[in-house]
Structure 1
Amino acid sequence: MSQNKDNQTEDISVNYEEENKKMYRQLTNKNAEYFTKLQRSLLKEDVDSEAVHQRLNVMMRESIDKQAEGYTARRLYGTVTERAQLILYGPSEEDKAADPIELSPDWQLYVDGALLVGGVFAILSGISEYWSGTEGSSQLGLISMIANFLIGGLVMLAISKTAPRPGQKNNYWKYFGASIGSIALWALIAALINLFIPDSINIPIPPIVSIPVGVLAIGSKWWFKRRYEVVGGIF
């Protein structure tokens, strides 16, 4: 039984090697030279030949597809030395750290940001009114507080989605545009609420209410982030 398995393994190795030989003829001279050097480098390290032929088979197929678009094997896989090191030893800690970060779903980023922004503004507003000593001096009303949660979540979502991150192509203009644009829109809506919604509807919130609401929101943000393991939020 063991002998049959050995024979099957040998056949598979021969198949990959034979396929690779056929594919060599479809490669450009530069790409063929790349794979010749890569195979030589790997076999020199006493790597199992079957594994080498199998790995090269996958790479060569992709290279043949991409070379028609002008991609060289070096452009796809880096230098021969870099690719050989990656195959032999895996990605370095530096490479792992530079891997693109996969963000949490938009709704999670939205809730995380809304709780943060709404909570912070509720606390700051309550403290400001408390220290002013004048009841009702705070501009934060009930509608304004709700708007801070709802619109603040959208602002933080826009910033989170466009923020520069390691391991990916970053568009700083898009980031600055999204940040400034969303904050400006938020300020405009807040100003319109204060101008056109009367205090009878936009009821001023006293510190005894706004501060606990803010603390509860920040605590909920902390719980929500841990519960759903939110990745990509600002804080």
Structure 2
Amino acid sequence: MKKNDEKKLNTEQQQMDNLVALKEENDTLFSQLTNKNEEYMVKLDKRLTEANYPDDEKTRVFNDMLKEIVSQQSAGVTARKLYGTVTERSVEIVEGPQQETEGQVQRSENWKLYVDGALMLGGMFALITGLSALFGNESNTTGMGIITLLLNFIVGGFVILAITKNAPVQGVKGSLLRYILVSVVAMFGWIIVMTGSMAIIPQSLNPLMPPAVNLVIGAAAFAGKWYFKRKYKVKGTLF
């Protein structure tokens, strides 16, 4: 019994020593963070404290994170790019990685979500514009300008990316309100860019295209979205 007790005490002491070493290493790594990454970790620490996440476990998780962040930040990779938003990361730490069940999947990289969103919103707007011009009653309705079309794809990708990244997280307070606000602001900004380009850019620089061309571009965009999503296995998109 004495030997077992002594062995248990030695194990516990070793674990405590390891934790102390990890905390010291974390302090050293933390001092090497950029301002943006430091702010990320401070907010994450606050979220985990509010969730009553054990300090010992937090020390171990932070050690792994800090090592990766410090090694990547010299290449311009931020903590947010590595781990997603503070909310997403805190939920993943507390609840564990989300499984691909019940329609809940992990999201793909931002650039994949951007391309998928650009093809979707750009293609949808091109189809709607083409159909409206083709079957509309107004004789002067001839389609959409080339620059406006390009802006629609470029800006549309950012709009869908912003909406997707701020999708409400179950159990996270305020996530639904943030999702609604981001969606409204993003869509409003998109509308301003579209209407503004048609009103401000001279028609000589932004020539209108026939309805049939808009329809072909819209159909091609949706076909491209389907191919891109299948080829790169894009996950977590709106559609």
TM-score bracket for the superposition, by shorter chain length:
0.5 to 0.7
1:228 aligns with 232
1:104 to 92, 101, 108: 108
Alignment pair present for 1:200 and 2:211: no
Q: Structure 2 CA distance, aligned partners of 1:178 and 1:160?
A: 10
Alignment pair present for 1:125 and 2:116: no
1:175 to 179, 193, 208: 179
Q: Could you tell me which amino acid in structure 2 is paired with residue 215 of structure 1?
A: A
Alignment pair present for 1:190 and 2:181: no
How far 1:184 sits from its partner (Å)?
A: 1.1
Number of aligned positions between the proteins:
164
How far 1:170 sits from its partner (Å)?
A: 6.4
Query: Helix, strand or coil for the counterpart of 1:202?
Result: coil
Structure 1 length normalisation: TM-score? 0.58
Query: Helix, strand or coil for the counterpart of 2:125?
Result: helix
Deviates more, 1:185-194 or 1:14-23: 14-23
Q: Structure 1 CA distance, aligned partners of 2:190 and 2:99?
A: 39
Alignment pair present for 1:210 and 2:201: no
How far 1:165 sits from its partner (Å)?
A: 4.0
Unaligned 5+ runs, structure 1:
1-12, 26-61, 69-90
Question: Map of 1:148-167 to 2, 5 A cutoff?
Answer: 148-166=152-170
Using a 3 Å threshold, how does the CA distance of structure 1 residues 112 and 96 change in structure 2: closer, same or farther? closer
Using a 3 Å threshold, how does the CA distance of structure 1 residues 189 and 64 change in structure 2: closer, same or farther? closer
The CA deviation string for residues 10-49 of structure 1, in whole angstroms up to 9 with x for no partner, is xxx9998665666899xxxxxxxxxxxxxxxxxxxxxxxx
Using a 3 Å threshold, how does the CA distance of structure 1 residues 231 and 18 change in structure 2: closer, same or farther? same
1:65 aligns with 56
Q: Structure 1 CA distance, aligned partners of 2:186 and 2:217?
A: 24
How far 1:97 sits from its partner (Å)?
A: 3.8
How far 1:64 sits from its partner (Å)?
A: 7.3
Q: Structure 1 CA distance, aligned partners of 2:237 and 2:99?
A: 23
Asked whether the 8 Å contact 1:100–1:165 carries over to 2, the reply is no
Unaligned 5+ runs, structure 2:
17-52, 60-94
Q: Structure 2 CA distance, aligned partners of 1:14 and 1:212?
A: 78
The CA deviation string for residues 33-71 of structure 1, in whole angstroms up to 9 with x for no partner, is xxxxxxxxxxxxxxxxxxxxxxxxxxxxx9673699xxx
Q: CA RMSD in A?
A: 3.8
Using a 3 Å threshold, how does the CA distance of structure 1 residues 95 and 18 change in structure 2: closer, same or farther? farther
Q: Structure 2 CA distance, aligned partners of 1:194 and 1:143?
A: 9
The structure that has the greater radius of gyration is: 1
